[in-house]
Amino acid sequence: MIGTSYDNPKGVHCATFKGAIEKELENKLLKDSTQAKDALMDVKKIIHGLYSYLYIPVEEAPNELLKLQNTTMQQLLNKNILSEIEKILNKKTNGKSIVTLINDNLDEFINDVNTIISRIDSKYSFMSEAGNKKNLTAKDIREKILEAYFPLRTLKANNHRIEQLSSGEQRKAIIDVAYSILLANGDKETERDIILAIDEPETSMHISNCFNQFLMLEELARTHQRQVMITTHWYGFLPIAQNGRLHHILSTGNTAKVDTFSLYNVLEERRSFPDVIELKSMYDLATSIITYMRAKPETSWIICEGSDDKVYLEYILKDYNSISILPVGGCGNVVKLYQLLYSPLTEKTEGKDGKALFLMDTDLLYKSINKPLEFSSNSSSIFLRRLQIDKGEIKLLDPCNPNIYSQTEMEDCLNPRCYYEAVMKAIHNSGNSKLKSLSKKYSFVEDAKVSVLRGDDSCIRAIDCKVISQKSQIVDFAESSENKYTIAKLYREICEQSSDKVEHKLKECIIKLLDISK
């Protein structure tokens, strides 16, 4: 983080980190503090030559930002437009470019003025400042051309000027325009790489518009490789920005501590957040999902418990682009979100929505669940299901109906061989020597129907009868929260590298329930 401060725009400012960075440079790379400061200045110049930082504060008037002649908006223009203007200005006719002709004519005029004014008093003279450039460049003229051209084009919405719109509509227009210009660029480069920073995109905006605005920002980052930074109080962004990071910076004197959390499964990770980071209730999240489902009914949702479940489901359903998967950090949150969404998604008066599957493990000590008040006797858009294995077959059972359940987790419903190999590879990579030795005395059960490690129907068996009683050590390793996510990623890698077609019975169950196609 390197930039400038308001009181010293020509200097270097690294906020909380300035002292720490200078000290590192001084102690490890350079001789003294002067060299460290000079080195930081060089770094700043390089970075400022590579990046354009576009900051859209919450308090700035949108109608000013939305003028294309605004320097902020000009930074969004693609390099080709800017270079073409400069190319025209630099094109030579009779040995001289337009820029040279303009400079020559202006120089001639200034010389005439200096000649006349010196006759009045010899101390007068129009001169360039020492160290400053003496002539106009193509870039200088280009900027003036843009300043003159773009005011001829005024942004309107339904024939109303932007300043006539509500504050929420004006705020929406900022993101819409920035997104449109960058999208219009396509693969064309901007003069510098864009860093787009927006303070509270949701401010004054109607809830129905919030989701789509955040969706566009996420698309700029994920699809178009733009760096996007936001501050927000809106909880509904969570289903969208799962590739992002949440950063918490704590300053204590001259030191800084930075904690970073992945938004891939922020609802689960929030248990480890510092106390000062607070997330709102799940109502914003529920509203966000409903808004999206109604805007894009072709998209189906799977709400699962944890990030490891999401890794498995993303791979299993990789051929189905119309499925969004959201981990919410445990069975309790799956049920809570289901109850919040049940009424609006089963209301008879509502139009066609997308579909949502709320998927839970069957824990050893599972709780019975009461079904919410029904508005529709036969809902086909929202499903709460518990994973269950019955005689080697994977089933998705309604936990609101009375059943006899046995412990079943996502890991029990995978491809048996791939899961076995993932567990063994994880043990090889991070298990202790005792566990590594034990794992070599177990082998894969070739005719295993499911990927269960526990009990008699396990997909692994001891090849040495002396270690049969020690299988729980392998099970405990695989079911440890520290290892589950790692094993999930290894499972995906092993499936992808397999030369044989990997079958997933769970995929067929989900596709049949949601009635979706590729």
Same domain, 183 and 60: yes
247, 272, 297 - which closes a domain? 272
Q: What residues pair up with 457 in beta bridges, in sequence order?
A: none
Mean of pLDDT values over 145-163 = 70
| Chain segment 314-355, per-residue pLDDT in tens | 999 998 888 888 888 788 888 889 988 888 877 754 446 678
Residue 513 resides in a domain: no
Distance CA 227, CA 232 (A): 16
DSSP letter at 204? T
Q: Are residues 451 and 405 located together in one domain of the fold?
A: no
The two structure tokens encoding residue 53: 């930082």
Structural domain includes residue 103 = yes
pLDDT at 296: 78
- Across the range 251-255, mean pLDDT stands at 74
Residues 6+ away with beta carbon under 8 Å from 516 = 300, 320, 322, 323, 355
Residues 371 and 437 in one domain: no
Structure tokens at 271: 């248990």
Q: What whole-number distance in Å separates Cα of residue 238 and Cα of residue 248?
A: 17
88 with 133, same domain?
A: yes
pLDDT digits (tens, 9 = 90+) for 395-411: 999 888 877 788 899 99
Q: How confident is the model at residue 72 (pLDDT cuts 50, 70, 90)?
A: low
Of 238, 272, 306, the last residue of a domain is 272
With a cut of 90, say whether residue 23 has pLDDT above it: no
Do residues 60 and 185 both lie within one domain? yes
pLDDT of residue 461 exceeding 90, the answer is yes
Claim to verify: residue 65 and residue 203 sit in the same structural domain? yes
* pLDDT value of position 375: 46
As beta bridge partners, residue 193 has 51
Domain shared by 136 and 189, yes or no: no
- pLDDT score recorded for residue 210: 79
What residues make up the domain containing 95? 80-151
* Domain contains 30: yes
Query: Is residue 320 included in any domain, yes or no?
Result: yes
Both 365 and 497 in a single domain? no
Q: Are residues 106 and 244 in the same domain?
A: no
Q: Are residues 70 and 190 in the same domain?
A: yes
* Distance in angstroms (rounded) separating the CA atoms of residues 245 and 266: 9
Final residue belonging to a domain, choices 370, 395, 410: 410
Is the pLDDT higher at 200 or at 145?
A: 200
Residue for token pair 């072709």: 298
Residues 104 and 11 in one domain: no
The predicted structure's pLDDT at residue 62: 59
| Cβ 171 vs Cβ 204: under 8 Å | yes
> Is there a domain that residue 382 lies in?
yes
Maximum mean pLDDT: which of 75-79, 161-165, 434-438, 502-506: 434-438
The whole-chain average pLDDT of the chain stands at 81
Same domain, residue pair 287 and 395? yes
In this prediction, residue 487 carries a pLDDT of: 95
> How far is the C-alpha of 206 from the C-alpha of 345, rounded, in Å?
21
